[in-house]
Chains A and B, each alone.
Chain A
Amino acid sequence: MFRTALRNVLAHKARLLMTVLAVTLGVAFVSGTLVFTDTLKKSLSGQSAKDYAGVAVSVTSYGQSRNDQGEKEGEPGLSQATLDKVKTLPGVASVSGRVTGFAGVGDENGKLIGSGWSNQGANYTPVKDGKDPRYTFVQGAGPAKADEIALDEATASAGKYKVGDKVRVATNGPVKEYSLAGVFTTEDGAVQAGGSLVLFETKVAQELYLKPGYFQEMSVGAKDGTSADKLLSDIKPLVDAKHTEAQTGAALAAKQAKDIEKGLGQMGTMLLVFAGISLFVGIFLIYNTFTMLVTQRTKELALLRAVGANRGQVMRSVLAEALVVGAVSAVIGLISGIGLAVGMRSVIGSLGAKLPGGDIVIAPTTVVAALVIGILVTTIAAVLPAWRTGRIAPVAAMGSAHLPSTAKSLVVRNVIGSIISVLGIGLVVLGVSEGGDAGRMTIGAGAFFMLIGMIVLLPLLSKPVIGAVRPLLQKVFGVPGKLAAQNAVRNPRRTAVTAASLAIGLTLVTTLSVLGITVGKVVDRMSTEKLKADYKVSMAGGTGYLDKSVAEALTKAPGIKAVSPQTAGSFMVGDDFRAASGVNPDAIGQLLNIETVSGSLDSLGKGEVLVAEKTAKSKKLAVGSTLKVKYEDGKQETLKVGAVYKDMEGLLSPYVLDDKILDRHTDESAVSEVYVNVEGGASKAGQQKVVDALGKNPAINVATQEDMRNEMGGMINTMLNVMYGLLGMALIISVLGVVNTLAMSVFERTQEIGMLRAIGLDRSRVKNMIRLEAVVISLFGAALGVAIGVFLAWAVGTTMAKSMPNYELILPWDRIGLFLLLAGVVGVLAAMWPARSAARLNMLTAIKTE
């Protein structure tokens, strides 16, 4: 029987082409993801092992902490004295201390060089021979004086800096000028990935980032013959166990490798989810193909039964066929996947992020997974068609002509579909009423059932829905339109399966788009309605705090009207830590549109606290009530509530205070941003004034209102585009499904098409008929997907509404329209080949009876 199966595969090469393609694409996606992440994992782990090569023990300081009384405990870092003590231990070859922090270098236009997420500064720690093994100098040498620095090669060349040049370096505070002493290359992962690194003389770095005489980290090298573990146990008593962590270099490298694995694992999981969607969609196509193959071969299979093959043998022959197809596709998919991984690496490389090199890793598990997935998916999809062949009666061999698939009753199917759909919708509605994270989980489960229910119900839905557009098609396209609409529902099951794959993709795309755009609009509205400031000043790259001097410099600068630093602080209310914002009471009213429910903003200036409405309600606070707080330094104070304001999440914490009060109780600056108004309103010149006032600091970003909006919108758009790209694979497979279905339809209706040609339907209209059928099926699936997508987006959106002020569901009709248009185009494209073969059909052979 296996030979029969093999023969059948070869005999139906063309018919199986789409199936092979679909499985191949899905498997390629899976194996590509696995190979890519494995390769990245290996090269990154290799990188971290390299980073810690020669480090026997590493000690990291957590800095100081506060005890219950709010008093400081411990040292700010690892002192030089500690380092010296470690150095005297037997078996220690070298000890170097490290202190790091933010350092931005500007190019000639004052723009920050580097990726924006890793702009680091560190101390240069030459060991015995006057060199630091981590850095290889290509020009000059390491910084030896307080006004000297060294730069990594990429940053130096981006800024066109040569040894001896003056370089402006920005740390959290004001910009300072240094002279370039050397240019180096390093294996440091962050630098390899496109970040910038500035090396300072140790004292300078300590002053900038910590405290003179202290380090954040120390690396200890061992003499030959001394084990790292022995050294670790020797070092441990020398350092404060409560405020530091000592580990061997090997343990650290392993830990880092594990972190990398975890991070990549998450990325891999996400990619695999999308690969899974593609494969799931592919199942429909495979199912359709095998159903068709079996129907076409009814007579043949019945003959096998008539001459003595039993049910199981006939069924197994179909499954064996699927197995062969699955195996072939899986192998092609695996090979393409490896190619995909190589391509992906070079694409990412060309986008600027340098990935560490290394050989492509093809793990045995990848090979096994690819083959198993390819074969399983194909075989599972063929199980139902195979089972049906078992039920073909031997007498069918005697029947005349191949019978069109009988219109079996859909009653059972519809009842099951309705139950699942109602269950799904019920869960979604339940989730909406629950709200919050739990509600979203319920909605997710409901969405799953809804999709399954919809797929089961599609044949039922296809008739009225497509029937409804028939008059329109007939009116616009005449006879081809009418025939297309009728042909589309001739085999409702097949149409349903074809449309289902598109519907799944469109459901996901629509849900994500509606939610993304809705959230984007909420944020947008918040920034336009709530934000009156002309500019937001923050650290470039979006992370880290500004130096206190920033707000001071701006306040003193000419042409600047209002300045308010936003200090992110906290205090204890009762036993709970509460976030508090520090603002400038004199200016905040001009910069943020704070709506008070009761009380007045002026109370801020009197040292009173503003409380957000929701918090006021839950804590039963009102204007005039008092609030006992404990600051970070442990000092306690009773504050009077001066006003209650409408919540401004993302802009203000639930408690708002004069920043001078918060400042008094914290030692580190925590100014996340400074809002600024300039005289005469926002303008190019106004922005320049702000930039000038900051000393053209490359590390500080001055954002206009538009920038602030784009920041969030851009993030959402990027996210949506990534999703679209990943779902694109599922859509491609759907297109293959439409091609497949149409090719089958054209094949089945050869005689009919021949007749239509004979009685006067010309080639172009035959093509139109096929195309329109494809468009109708595609749009049917797409429209359904959009409808469910909008419903789900509404459901998820409603659960978020509670935590989002000014929430309003926005349906991006332009985008949805574009999706539907694309679905139509998909139909036209998918119909290209089948339509051509229909138009080229030989009329005479077509109309002849067999």
Chain B
Amino acid sequence: MTTTNYAPHTAQAVAARATQLSKVYGQGETQVVALDNVSVDFAQGQFTAIMGPSGSGKSTLMHCVAGLDTFSGGSVRIGETELSTLKDKQLTQLRRDKIGFIFQAFNLLPTLTALENITLPMDIAGRKPDRQWLDNVIRMVGLSDRLSHRPTQLSGGQQQRVAVARALASRPEIIFGDEPTGNLDSRSGAEVLGFLRNSVRELGQTVVMVTHDPVAASYADRVIFLADGRIVDEMISPSADGVLDRMKAFDAKGRTS
């Protein structure tokens, strides 16, 4: 079986790269292959969406590339760093310094103010935030007048904007989003996706997002489709309808096969 290498279609440098990545759970008869020799590049300054039906391995792919999960075979690089050889402590440090995260459930600390939540990764690293950059990020997500609020005093959309700002504030090499709009209404979701796209267009940020929402995927520069642990297709400059059609094809195939 041949594996296609889904290299980016631009000549830009690569922010993260998975090569022959596989992830297997269990052994023998109960063995489940979550990722089956996946090779993919995520170019710098590009907004990539990972799509696929439930159980396709899209979240697993993101977790492995983001250094949140271990993998069974192949290699993952973030910039120049190979993850397979890193110990937990180094991996933690890598996530802290080079990766930003946005989660579906916002995952803010309720005891900290919005601003403290935004600067948390840098506080953990013991670094002083770049004031000017921080102001830009905060202005962009429109939180200037909410900085001293606690998460419980903010709406879901505002909380996720805090999470976006937290991911952006430390200027990571790459930001991973795990269904970042999953808990939001469509308007707030559109806002958050707009920020992510702007951060790519205007600030040159690299973003990789797992989603099952074709509208969310349409904000990306590129969509890769996973099924059964393999990358089965990709789409450049997608439209929501195009993505939806492609997804329907999965469903149809699922029903007929």
Which A residues touch B123, using CB under 8 A?
478-479, 482
**Across the two chains, which residue of chain A brings its CB closest to B178?**
A847
Question: Are A752 and B107 closer than 8 Å at their CB atoms?
Answer: yes
> Which chain A residues lie closer than 8 Å to B101 at the CB level?
755, 758-759
Given contacts A760-B92, A844-B69, contact A849 B105 (CB under 8 A): yes
Q: Contact: A759 with B120, CB < 8 Å?
A: yes
The yes or no answer to B68 lying at the interface (CB within 8 A) is yes
A490 touches B111 (CB 8 A): yes
Q: Do B92 and A761 touch across chains, with their CB atoms under 8 A apart?
A: yes
B88 interface neighbour in A483, A490, A754, A762, Cβ under 8 Å: A762
Q: Does A763 contact B (CB under 8 A)?
A: yes
Q: Flag if A760 contacts B107 (CB, 8 Å).
A: no
Interface string of B97-126 (1 = CB under 8 A from A): 100110111010111100000001101111
For residue A758, which residues in chain B have a CB less than 8 angstroms away from its CB?
68, 95, 101, 103
A752→B109 contact, CB < 8 A:
yes
Across the interface, name the chain B residue whose C-beta is closest to A766.
Answer: B92
The answer to whether B92 and A762 touch across the interface, beta carbons within 8 angstroms, is yes
Contacts of B100 in A (CB 8 A): 759
Given contacts A478-B126, A759-B120, whether A844 and B107 have CB atoms under 8 Å apart is: no
| A121–B251 CA distance with the chains assembled, in angstroms | 106
**How far is A530 from B152 in the complex, measured between Cα atoms in Å?**
69
For window 743-765 of A, CB contacts with B under 8 Å fall at: 751-752, 754-765
**In whole angstroms, how far apart are the Cα atoms of A759 and B126 in the complex?**
13
CB-contact partner of A760 in B96, B105, B109, under 8 A: B96
Q: How far is the CB of A477 from chain B (nearest CB, A)?
A: 11
CB distance A757 to B92 under 8 Å?
yes
CB of A751 within 8 A of CB of B105, answer: yes
CA distance A770 to B111 in the complex (A): 15
Q: Check: A296 CB closer than 8 A to any chain B CB.
A: no
B126 contact set on A, CB distance < 8 A = 478
B116 to A: closest C-beta gap in Å? 9
Q: Are B95 and A760 in contact (CB under 8 A)?
A: yes
A825 to B178, CA, bound (A): 41
Distance (whole angstroms) from the CB of B86 to the closest CB of chain A: 12
A486 to B123: give the CA distance in the assembly, Å: 15
State in angstroms the CA–CA spacing of A762 and B69 once bound together.
15
Complex Cα–Cα for A490 and B68 (A): 28
CB distance from B48 to the nearest CB of A (A): 19
> Taking the complex as formed, is A843 at the interface, i.e. its CB lies under 8 A from any CB of chain B?
yes
Across the interface, A844 reaches (CB within 8 A) one of B68, B104, B110, B111, namely B68
Query: Which residues in window 78-92 of B have CB below 8 A to A?
Result: 88-89, 92
Q: Interface 1/0s, chain B 183-205, versus A by CB < 8 A?
A: 10000000000000000000000
Q: Is B63 in contact with chain A by the CB < 8 A criterion?
A: yes
List residues of chain B with CB within 8 A of the CB of A760. Answer: 92-93, 95-97, 121, 124-125
Which residue of B93, B107, B183 is within 8 Å of A755 (Cβ)? Answer: B107
> Of A751, A759, A763, A844, which one neighbours B124 at CB under 8 angstroms?
A759
Task: Kindly list chain A residues whose C-beta atoms are within 8 Å of the C-beta of B111.
Answer: 483, 486-487, 490
Q: Which residues of A487-535 are within 8 A (CB) of B?
A: 487, 490
**Interface residues on chain B, number (Cβ under 8 Å):** 30
Contact B125 A847 (CB under 8 A): no
Establish whether residues B103 and A755, one from each chain, have CB atoms under 8 Å apart when the complex forms. yes
**Taking the nearest CB of chain A, how far is it from the CB of B102, in angstroms?**
10
* Residue among A752, A759, A762 having the largest count of chain B Cβ atoms under 10 Å: A759
Q: How many residues of A contact B (CB 8 A)?
A: 26
Q: Is the CB of B120 within 8 A of A479?
A: yes
| Residue among B89, B104, B178, B183 making CB contact with A762, cutoff 8 Å | B89
Q: Which of A731-782 contact B (CB under 8 A)?
A: 751-752, 754-765
Residues of B contacting A759 in the complex (Cβ-Cβ under 8 angstroms):
95-96, 100-101, 120-121, 124, 166
A754 to B92, CA, bound (A): 12
Taken residue by residue from 1 to 38, chain B's Cβ proximity to chain A (1 for < 8 Å, 0 otherwise) reads as 00000000000000000000000000000000000000
Within the complex, the shortest CB–CB distance from B229 to chain A, in Å, comes to 17
Which residue of A has the minimal Cβ distance to B89? A762
Give the residues in chain B near A751, CB-CB below 8 Å: 105, 107
Q: Is the CB of A761 within 8 A of B124?
A: yes
- Whole-angstrom CA separation of A276 from B239 in the bound complex: 73
Question: Whole-angstrom distance between the alpha carbons of A483 and B111 in the complex?
Answer: 8
For residue B114, give the distance in angstroms from its CB to the closest CB of chain A: 15
A30 to B221, CA, bound (A): 73
Write out the residue numbers on chain B whose beta carbons fall within 8 Å of the beta carbon of A754.
Answer: 107
Give Cα A309 to B96, complex, Å. Answer: 50
A765–B101 Cα gap in the complex (Å)? 19
- Kindly report which residue of chain A lies nearest to residue B163, judged by CB atoms: A755
Q: What is the minimal beta-carbon distance from B121 to any residue of chain A, in angstroms?
A: 5
B170 to chain A, nearest CB (A): 9
Q: Which residues of chain A are within 8 angstroms of B95 by Cβ–Cβ distance?
A: 758-760
Contacts of B93 in A (CB 8 A): 760, 762
Contacts of A483 in B (CB 8 A): 109, 111
Residues of A within 8 A of B182 (CB): 849
Name the residue on A nearest B91 (C-beta). Answer: A762
Bound-state CA distance A69–B235 (Å) is 126
Residues from chain A with a CB closer than 8 A to the CB of B69 are 843-844
Across the interface, which residues of A come within 8 angstroms of B97, CB to CB?
A: 760
Task: Give the docked Cα–Cα distance between A170 and B141 (Å).
Answer: 97
Bound state CA distance, A847 and B163, in angstroms?
14
B166 cross-chain contacts in A, Cβ below 8 A: 759
Residues of chain A within 8 A (CB-CB) of B178 are 847
Residues of chain A in range 632-648 having any CB-CB distance to chain B below 8 Å: none
* A460 nearest CB across to chain B (Å): 18
Shortest Cβ distance from A567 into chain B, in angstroms? 73
With A and B bound together, what is the CA distance between A827 and B166 in angstroms?
Answer: 32
- Contact mask for chain B residues 21-59; partner A; CB cutoff 8 A; 1 contact, 0 none: 000000000000000000000000000000000000000
Q: How many angstroms from the CA of A362 to the CA of B217 in the assembled complex?
A: 76
Q: A646 to B95, alpha carbons, bound, how many Å?
A: 78
Which B residues touch A482, using CB under 8 A? 123
Residue of B nearest to A755 (CB): B107
Nearest Cβ on chain B to A760's Cβ, whole angstroms: 2
Rounded to whole Å, the gap between the CB of B177 and the closest CB of chain A is 12
Chain A contacts with B in 803-850, Cβ cutoff 8 A? 843-844, 847-849
Q: Which residues of A contact B88 (CB under 8 A)?
A: 762-763
- Considering the chains assembled together, what is the distance between the CA atoms of A760 and B98 in angstroms? 10
Shortest distance between the CB of A490 and any CB in chain B (Å): 6
**Assembled-state Cα–Cα distance A848/B121 (Å):** 20
Q: What is the CA–CA distance of A844 and B105 in the complex, to the nearest angstrom?
A: 13
CA distance A490 to B112 in the complex (A): 11
Contact B89 A847 (CB under 8 A): no
Residues of A within 8 A of B96 (CB): 759-761
Residues in A neighbouring B105, C-beta threshold 8 A: 751, 847-849
Q: Is the CB of B124 within 8 A of A479?
A: yes
Residues on the B chain within 8 Å of A849, using CB: 104-105, 182-183
Q: How far is the CA of A752 from the CA of B120 in the complex (A)?
A: 13
Q: Given A758-B101, A844-B69, A849-B183, are A763 and B89 also a contact pair (CB < 8 Å)?
A: yes
Q: How far is the CB of B91 from chain A (nearest CB, A)?
A: 9
Q: How far is the CB of A483 from chain B (nearest CB, A)?
A: 7
**Which chain B residues border A761 with CB–CB below 8 Å?**
92, 96, 124
Shortest C-beta distance, A34 to chain B (Å), equals: 48
Across the interface, name the chain A residue whose C-beta is closest to B95. A760
- The complex places the Cα of A756 from the Cα of B107 at a distance, in Å, of 9
Shortest distance between the CB of B99 and any CB in chain A (Å):
8
Asked whether B63 lies within 8 Å of A844 as measured between CB atoms, the reply is yes
Closest approach, in angstroms, between the C-beta of A660 and any C-beta of chain B?
A: 82
Interchain CA distance A756-B101 in the complex, whole Å: 11
Q: Which 6 A-B pairs have the closest CB atoms?
A: A760-B96, A486-B111, A755-B107, A762-B92, A849-B105, A479-B124
Apart from A751-B107, A759-B166, A760-B93, 18 more pairs, CB < 8 Å: A478-B124, A479-B120, A483-B111, A487-B111, A490-B111, A757-B92, A758-B95, A759-B96, A759-B100, A759-B101, A759-B121, A760-B92, A760-B121, A761-B96, A762-B92, A762-B93, A844-B68, A849-B105
Q: List 7 A-B contacts (CB under 8 A).
A: A483-B111, A758-B101, A760-B92, A760-B125, A763-B92, A843-B69, A849-B105
